Chains A and B, each alone.
Chain A
Amino acid sequence: EVQLLESGGGLVQPGGSLRLSCAASGFTFSGYTMSWVRQAPGKGLEWVSTITVSGARTYYADSVKGRFTISRDDSKSTLYLQMNSLRAEDTALYYCAKVVVTIREGFDYWGQGTLVTVSS
């Protein structure tokens, strides 16, 4: 059974940093592109970042480019999102999501999310 378990969320002040983790199991993690998608409270889904197999390529939404860094540790089957210079508008539930085969077809498995709150 595929499982994605996010952690690392919490309350942080504007300008602060957080590192999210997503522990994957039930599939060959190293063989799949992975993404982060977020959802602000009461709002819709927003793609944040994607990392391809072996970390060969990374992609970011314009809203987080230069502030967030996605990475992966295939030996630990874990996806990360380093978030720096956090802003109030980054407040959201952050989902880890497994890309199907091509990201053009979306995501077939999602974690339960970890909540990030940016507030003073």
Chain B
Amino acid sequence: DVVMTQSPLSLPVTLGQPASITCRSSQSLVFRDGNTYLNWFQQRPGQSPRRLIYKVSNRDSGVPDRFSGSGSGTDFTLKISSVEAEDVGVYYCMEGKNWPPITFGQGTRLEIK
């Protein structure tokens, strides 16, 4: 199975500063249909996960534009341009190219310094 590796696992950030999370896959996530199936989820404390980004860089409806996704092949990044208090939580990447199964990264915990 593919292995998804996130870094860092813990990310202390000052309010208003940018944040960046990396997700690396053990194999390319480009599917035969030409799409790259790498998605990002946010899980705020005590809440269920919520999808933020799908297919590398497409923001879900209602997701603030301070969130952006980029990358290709095996290396992907989630960026927050200016961290706000409501961004505290754990962020997971998820790959769908090798379905089944679905594989999540270990998670990155973002906290405010």
Is there contact, CB below 8 Å, between B60 and A108?
yes
Chain A residues whose C-beta falls within 8 Å of the C-beta of B102 in the assembled complex: 35, 47, 50, 103, 106
Q: What would be 12 A-B contacts, judged by CB atoms less than 8 Å apart?
A: A45-B49, A45-B107, A47-B102, A104-B37, A104-B96, A105-B54, A107-B49, A107-B51, A108-B60, A110-B48, A110-B49, A113-B48
- Could you list which residues of chain B lie within 8 angstroms of chain A, going by C-beta atoms? 31, 35, 37, 39, 41, 43, 48-51, 54-55, 60, 90, 92, 94, 96-97, 99-107
Residues of A in contact (CB 8 Å), total: 23
> In the assembly, what is the distance between CA of A112 and CA of B110, in Å?
21
Nearest residue (CB) in A for B47 is A112
Residue-wise interface mask of A (23-43) relative to B, using a CB-CB cutoff of 8 A (1 in contact, 0 not): 000000000000101000000
> In the assembly, what is the distance between CA of A70 and CA of B55, in Å?
27
The answer, yes or no, to whether A120 is at the interface (CB within 8 Å) is no
SS class, residues of chain B in contact with chain A: loop
> In the assembly, what is the distance between CA of A80 and CA of B35, in Å?
31
Is there contact, CB below 8 Å, between B51 and A44?
no
Is there contact, CB below 8 Å, between B51 and A108?
yes
The answer, yes or no, to whether A102 is at the interface (CB within 8 Å) is yes
Chain B residues whose C-beta falls within 8 Å of the C-beta of A46 in the assembled complex: 104
> In the assembly, what is the distance between CA of A110 and CA of B51, in Å?
10
> In the assembly, what is the distance between CA of A37 and CA of B50, in Å?
13
Chain B residues whose C-beta falls within 8 Å of the C-beta of A110 in the assembled complex: 48-50
Give which listed residue, B49, B94, B100, contacts A95 with CB less than 8 A. Answer: B49
